[in-house]
């Protein structure tokens, strides 16, 4: 759940989390206890636990009793919380390594105030807070170094999980998948006819690993799907900083910027527009040439088996 969601969705998610067994390593419930130090340690523990058990996200929820999972409401308001003169979210981000994505959501559930902290799973490295790595062992938060077998398993997971297979958004409805991904560009680039119905489109996207069925219902959109075919990278909080940037400098140095363009689309569906922007910067008698090269492997129409890549560009300094 990295795309923006309406309050109804967030309330539904809270209710689904409340149905989980009491001892769950990727979800922690609290009522009003919101000590900044504890929150930072829980972000580390929950992010590492989510990676260990194969979850895309972990959650820390305020306003729910830990024993009964009953919604009781909370007085915690993260948007006004501070550590000294620094906002809580900024303070936490400074002390986390690597700087994973996490988001606070405030939502009303059955007329009661609830705060949902969504935490992205650890990727490539265990998440540290103030130089310490934490993990969840059942319902308890522990130091990872005290459980070497968990640490070894976590590193094995990092080694065999490619970035492309990571989940950028989960529990996405059919219609929202088609709204968020530029699926016509997918079929155009592969020179395949557009299926007649929605199920055919989703099946094709799933076959190439752009989406996958989500065990909680709906679809998970993978990092591969977002980076290639997102209509708006801004819709995916964790990946929006990976947008392509084209900068034109004056002369041969990088002191003075003349123009800068930040891409808004996925790399594949936005590539022709990117080439068009670069061509507009070049002298009129100089062109890059063919923007796209399409060559499918014999007997295959799969995206992964296709030899498709932008025609290489020579490095130029525009003046």
Tell whether 191 and 62 lie within a shared domain. Answer: no
Tell whether 62 and 196 lie within a shared domain. Answer: no
Residue 90 pLDDT: 94
Tell whether 22 and 156 lie within a shared domain. Answer: yes
Backbone angles phi, psi at 281, to 5 degrees: -90, -20
Residue ending a domain, among 120, 137, 161, is 161
Q: Which residues pair with 257 in a beta bridge?
A: 249
Helix axis angle for 36-53 and 148-160, nearest 10°, is 60
**DSSP, res 310:** P
193 domain residue, yes or no: yes
Residue 4 pLDDT: 63
Tell whether 99 and 177 lie within a shared domain. Answer: no
Tell whether 180 and 150 lie within a shared domain. Answer: no
Tell whether 11 and 62 lie within a shared domain. Answer: yes
> Taking a C-beta distance cutoff of 8 angstroms, is the pair 241, 225 a contact?
no
Helix axis angle for 36-53 and 88-95, nearest 10°, is 60
Residue 59 pLDDT: 94
Backbone angles phi, psi at 212, to 5 degrees: -150, 150
Residue 260 pLDDT: 86
> Taking a C-beta distance cutoff of 8 angstroms, is the pair 228, 268 a contact?
yes
**DSSP, res 230:** B
Give the CATH number, domain containing residue 197.
1.10.10
248 domain residue, yes or no: no
In total, how many domains does the chain have? 2
271 domain residue, yes or no: no
29 domain residue, yes or no: yes
Tell whether 192 and 147 lie within a shared domain. Answer: no
Tell whether 88 and 200 lie within a shared domain. Answer: no
Tell whether 175 and 86 lie within a shared domain. Answer: no
Q: Which regions of the chain are under pLDDT 50? A: 1-2, 295-319
For 225, the domain range is 167-229
Tell whether 45 and 116 lie within a shared domain. Answer: yes
pTM listed for this prediction: 0.66
Residue 303 pLDDT: 47
Residue 55 pLDDT: 86
Tell whether 99 and 183 lie within a shared domain. Answer: no
Give the CATH number, domain containing residue 145.
3.30.950
């Amino acid at each position: 759940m990295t795309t923006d969601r309406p309050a109804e969705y967030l309330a539904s998610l809270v209710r689904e989390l409340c149905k989980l067994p009491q001892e769950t390593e990727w979800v922690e419930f609290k009522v009003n206890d919101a000590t900044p130090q504890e929150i930072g340690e829980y972000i580390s523990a929950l992010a590492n636990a989510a990676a260990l058990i194969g979850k895309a996200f972990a959650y820390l929820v305020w306003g729910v009793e830990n024993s009964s999972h009953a919604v009781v409401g909370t007085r915690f308001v993260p948007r006004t919380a501070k550590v000294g003169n620094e906002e809580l979210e900024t303070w936490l981000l400074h002390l986390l390594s690597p700087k994973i994505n996490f988001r606070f959501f405030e939502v009303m559930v059955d007329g009661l105030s609830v705060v949902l902290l969504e935490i992205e799973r650890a990727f490539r490295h265990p998440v540290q807070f103030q130089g310490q790595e934490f993990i969840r062992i059942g319902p308890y938060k522990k130091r990872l170094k005290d459980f070497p077998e968990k640490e070894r398993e976590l590193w094995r997971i990092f080694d065999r999980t490619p970035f492309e297979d990571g989940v950028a958004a989960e529990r996405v409805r059919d219609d929202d998948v088609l709204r968020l991904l530029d699926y016509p560009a997918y079929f155009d680039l592969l020179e395949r006819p557009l299926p007649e119905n929605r199920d055919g489109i989703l099946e094709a996207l799933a076959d190439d690993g752009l989406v996958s069925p989500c065990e909680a219902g709906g679809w998970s959109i993978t990092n591969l799907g977002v980076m290639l075919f997102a209509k708006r990278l801004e819709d995916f909080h964790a990946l929006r900083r990976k947008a392509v940037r084209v900068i034109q400098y004056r002369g041969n140095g990088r002191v003075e910027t003349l123009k800068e363009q930040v891409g808004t689309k996925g790399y594949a569906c936005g590539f022709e527009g990117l080439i068009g922007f670069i061509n507009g910067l070049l002298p009129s008698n100089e062109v890059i040439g063919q923007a796209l090269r399409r060559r499918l492997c014999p007997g295959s129409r799969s995206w992964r088996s296709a030899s498709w890549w932008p025609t290489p560009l020579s490095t130029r300094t525009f003046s």
